[in-house]
Amino acid sequence: MDHRSLIDEIASRADDFLAGAASRKEARAGIDELLNADYAQLGPAERRQVAEGVMRILENEGFFEFGSRGGRGGGSDAESENGE
Full-model pTM? 0.75
Domain spans in the chain, listed from the N-terminal domain onward: 3-82
pLDDT in tens, the chain (84 residues): 689 999 999 999 999 999 888 899 999 999 999 999 999 999 999 999 999 999 999 999 988 875 443 443 333 333 333 343
Taking CA atoms, 15 is separated from 12, 71, 76, in Å, by 7, 11, 22
